[in-house]
A and B are shown apart, each in its own frame.
Chain A
Amino acid sequence: MTWREHHERSDAHAWDADIAKARGDIDSARRSFALAAQAEETAIGEISPNKARTYGVTVVSAASLYREAQLATEAERVAHTYLASGLLPEFAKTQLRELLHALWDEQARAAAGIDLAEQPLQFSVRGEMIFRGVAPLLLIEGIAKRVESMLYRVAELEQKYNHRLRGQPSKEIKSLIQPWLVQSAPGSYQFAITLRRPIQPPLLQAAEEPLAPARILERLMEIMQMSAKSPEDGLPQLVSDDAYRRTFLTLTRDLAPRGSTYQSLVISREGQSTDLILSSETRFSLNEAIRNIRRSVKDVTVELREYRGTLRAVDLNRDSLRLDTGKGECRINGVGDAVDDVIGPMMNRPVIVTAQPQLHSHPQFIDIEPDD
């Protein structure tokens, strides 16, 4: 048989595997990927290394297919054998090294007994101040904290909990939802967040089965995409509860850049070619959606005004917050439905508060965002 015949046989098995995977039949998918890998490896022997592109692509394809079949040892064997051969073109060596890097990360986690969900959310921060492997700590910390908050919120939404305004998630939610930061492939500045699979699922009041980590990650990606894509029409169909929807919009908005520290945040999941790009334009449209939700319950004829300063205090008894504007203190009332995990990260940091000025009292709170 020729290279083409072996390669086409491999591709046929790979198609079967993709279809089985889409159906959720993981065992069939693995078997088909294994057959595809074996056929592809056989194809390598039928092509001369002088045909550098075909040779390199086929070697990488064989190793990738073994990895998809979860045959890590075979994937390593192929990668090491051909890396050592001296026959591979440069592009194939680079791709095989990246594949080995990913495999070793997976094996290290498995050896440590840490069972992490596959297809983590990948975050890529881009901008003039962002370099390969280097980014401001506060920026990355802020993104990670907001994503953590959203993961808890998705779990609470799925479990039909009442929307939480104050305090931390319940112990049950925290035991089920354990976000982990994982090393991502080299890039501008990239990191990934996934969930650890619970060891012993605890009992939950409203749940019959534990929340699947993969489902939570998928749902969060859907919510963030819909928040950015169609915050006023599409998102209500995905998240019917007003309070949850407002919180997701606010947290997604706070992930998007204002354009100074970074220009865009790209969020993706492995295996899916559709990325979510959050930019300053996204922030603008989300601001409008958030303010329209809040504004609908207040006087829509009054102009909104921005108040800039450092957030110094949130007084729950008086339902207000206090800003240090640099020229004195400014009190804003009516923060009641602003949630802790939105306001918390902004304490003692520069913020912009949008509020409705009042004739005879303090301004009424509409929205708050970091001023970075």
Chain B
Amino acid sequence: MPPDDTMQATHGNELDATRDGACACVIAAVELVAGLVVISRARQGSGADYYVAPPGTDWEDLEELTRLEVSSIDHGVERQLRARMRQKIAQITAGAENSRGIAGVAAFRELQIRLATVEPT
């Protein structure tokens, strides 16, 4: 379905649209690959963290949910993609909640979405 005028205006800022597009692509990829859907969001800093679980999960808190860390780069060679993935994995593991997480990086120019699962230590 092509975007109408309201949609175009809402996402008129290219950088915000790229960020939101990255989230949408990574969330869709996580559902396709891992069968997990977004259950909840929580604010952190000026962004939001997503929490995913299998559809139909009966949840009453975030304890058993998986955190999803999303990022994107407009373009980049393999080394830069790997570096961004390492950065996102480090954000999940270093000093943060010691729990399962998924890091997702969308590289638009390369038409790639990279996903990595992080297990608790």
Q: Which residues of A contact B (CB under 8 A)?
A: 2-4, 7-8, 11, 14, 19, 22-23, 36, 40, 47, 51-54, 56-58, 60-61, 64-65, 68, 89-91, 94-95, 98-99, 218, 221-222, 225, 228-229, 264, 269-277, 279, 281
Contacts and interface: CB of A to CB of B under 8 A. Distances in A.
A4 B43 contact: no
A8 B11 CA distance: 24
B74 A273 contact: no
| Residue of B16, B23, B43, B96 contacting most chain A CB atoms (<10 Å) | B43
Nearest to B69: A273
Contacts of A225: 15, 74
A218 B17 CA distance: 13
| Residue of B10, B22, B61, B96 contacting most chain A CB atoms (<10 Å) | B61
A218 B13 contact: yes
B117 interface: no
A57 B43 CA distance: 8
Nearest to B96: A91
A279 B80 contact: yes
A68 B42 CA distance: 13
Interface string B33-56: 000000011111111110000000
B61 A54 contact: yes
Given A229-B109, A269-B15, A279-B80, A57 B74 contact: no
B19 A64 contact: no
Given A57-B97, A95-B44, A271-B47, A22 B13 contact: yes
Contacts of B99: 53
Given A277-B73, A277-B84, A281-B77, A272 B16 contact: yes
Contacts of B76: 277
A356 to B, nearest CB: 30
Interface size, B (range):
35 or more
B95 interface: yes
Contacts, number: 121
A54 to B, nearest CB: 4
A14 B48 contact: yes
Interface of B: 9-11, 13-16, 18-19, 22-23, 40-49, 59-63, 70-77, 79-80, 83-84, 95-97, 99, 109
A277 to B, nearest CB: 5
What 8 A-B pairs have minimum CB-CB distances, sorted nearest first? A54-B61, A64-B43, A61-B43, A54-B62, A91-B96, A61-B42, A273-B19, A274-B18
Nearest to B72: A274
B74 A68 contact: no
Given A22-B13, A91-B97, A58 B42 contact: yes
Contact of A273 (B9, B62, B72): B72
A276 B11 contact: no
B61 A274 contact: no
A282 to B, nearest CB: 9
Nearest to A124: B87
A8 B62 CA distance: 12
A276 B97 contact: no
A222 B14 contact: yes
B15 A57 contact: no
A53 B62 contact: yes
Given A53-B99, A222-B15, 6 more contacts: A4-B61, A19-B10, A60-B44, A272-B16, A279-B77, A281-B77
A89 B15 contact: no
A47 B63 CA distance: 11
Contact of B75 (A65, A228, A270): A228
B103 to A, nearest CB: 12
B74 A99 contact: no
Nearest to B61: A54
Nearest to A277: B80
Contacts of A228: 74-75
Contacts of B40: 7-8, 11
A366 B11 CA distance: 40
21 contacts: A3-B60, A3-B61, A14-B43, A52-B97, A53-B99, A57-B62, A57-B97, A61-B44, A64-B44, A68-B46, A91-B97, A95-B45, A222-B14, A271-B47, A272-B16, A272-B18, A272-B19, A274-B22, A277-B73, A277-B76, A279-B79
A54 B63 contact: yes
